[in-house]
Amino acid sequence: MLGLNYASLDTDNKPAATPPIDVTALISDPAERVRLKGLLEETLYGSWPEGLPVSFSDWRIIVPDYLEGRGTLEEMDITIGADAGARTFQLVAAFPNGAVQAPVVIAQTFGSNCATFPEQPVTSLDGDPCTIRDFGKFAGMIISAVFGEYIAEAPVDLYFDAGFAYASFHASDFIPDDKDEAGPALEGLGGDPNPGSVLMAWAYAFSAAVTALEADERLDNERMAILGHSRHGKAALLAAAWDPRIDAVISHQSGFGGAALSRSPSGERLDRMVKSYPHWLAPSAAAYAADPARLPFDQHHLLALIAPRPLFLGNARRDVWSDPNSSYRAAIAASKVWKAYGETGLKDDITHFDPAADIAYFLRPGGHSIVDDDIEAFLAFLSAHLGTKPELPNRMRAP
């Protein structure tokens, strides 16, 4: 947990992901996708809130000459919910000047929008423009020292350099990451069904951001990537499994409930997760967490639901808590589905990073954080897959 150990690079001496994926059924029979998603909902995650209303405001220009005039920083309100308990949060987006059909990265963050866009007057939690108090400069310095330079601040200039627009929202502004507050917040959203867990609700928030951004002609609807770290990397995987409009996924250090195999005995494990973060998963998850062998699937099935769209899985050698080794074994098992679609799939080497592979596994030294090397790897992956318009849009290839 403290990052003092190293994840094993040995995969041959550990069990392959089980149960096996029925690759033929998954790529040829839409009913198999429905069945798998049903299993994920019934056991760990609860319902995806299909059809839960999403509405959004016009853009407000926050900084007309953002990054020394390279673009604009804008903000909109997104509202999700069917009842009086509908909830509103702010999506902040940086558009490069003259953007026409630009690809976009949509991030969901731990840090507030004030921390993601430091020193910019985006709206803070109290409804006023962010001030130094909201940036929490000192607290921010400590967090960055432990969890990496980019754990909060978005390096928008680098995304601009690669030709991407960048949008971001703070997940807890929608549903608080708090075991007491989350339940009533979810229930208040209404809908039939209601989101079955906080991870499902955060996943749906990615989807709501896609709905809002698709309406903007500056962006290319066929090149929309989502990005999440850790708990938000879990939500990103769920969002892409349920929403075919998502064209590529960066899921960084997602761990248990994300890309790590629930049957793996190393790392956090689901039994610890349901104790510390009971709101993330559905109430039904506790029984499976106590005995993961009872699960009728494992996380390679979740990854496989994203194929053939490009998927990046970020890992770090000392991030043993999120179990890079079992995430690799999940990726190897899921890779068969990418290959069956005629894509490259994953190379059989845990240390080999190929950003152009459709399922790209990245392992660096260091711990649970977002550092320079991660951003470089994210950008290499994004440029390889969405840097130029694909001949056949990813969403048309997706079932």
Q: Which residues bind ligand GCU (CB under 6 A)?
A: 230-231, 255-256, 268, 273, 321-322
Cβ atoms of residues 15 and 330 within 8 Å: no
Structure token pair of residue 214: 């698709």
**Nearer of residues 72 and 253 to ligand GCU, judged by Cβ:** 253
β-strand pairing of 248-252 with 165-170: unpaired
Cβ atoms of residues 54 and 78 within 8 Å: yes
- Give the span between the Cα atoms of 202 and 281, in whole angstroms: 11
Q: How far does the chain reach from its first CA to its final CA, in angstroms?
A: 38
CB of 157 to ligand GCU, least distance (A): 25
CB of 322 to ligand GCU, least distance (A): 6
**Nearer of residues 37 and 232 to ligand GCU, judged by Cβ:** 232
266-271, long-range: CB < 8 A, 24+ apart: 266/320, 266/323, 266/325, 266/326, 267/320, 267/321, 267/322, 267/323, 267/326, 268/1, 268/321, 268/322, 268/323, 270/44
- Give the span between the Cα atoms of 263 and 256, in whole angstroms: 10
How many other CB atoms sit within 10 Å of the CB of residue 307?
Answer: 27
What lies within 8 Å, CB to CB, of 227 at 6+ separation is 105, 106, 107, 108, 236, 249, 250, 252, 378
CB of 14 to ligand GCU, least distance (A): 20
CB of 358 to ligand GCU, least distance (A): 24
With CB atoms as reference, the residue minimizing the distance to ligand GCU is 230
CB of 279 to ligand GCU, least distance (A): 12
**Nearer of residues 81 and 148 to ligand GCU, judged by Cβ:** 148
**Nearer of residues 255 and 308 to ligand GCU, judged by Cβ:** 255
CB of 267 to ligand GCU, least distance (A): 9
**Nearer of residues 72 and 144 to ligand GCU, judged by Cβ:** 144
**Nearer of residues 249 and 273 to ligand GCU, judged by Cβ:** 273
Tokens 């962010």 correspond to what residue?
130
Q: Give the distance, in angstroms, between the CA of residue 120 and the centroid of all CA atoms in the same chain.
A: 24
CB of 171 to ligand GCU, least distance (A): 10
**Nearer of residues 264 and 394 to ligand GCU, judged by Cβ:** 264
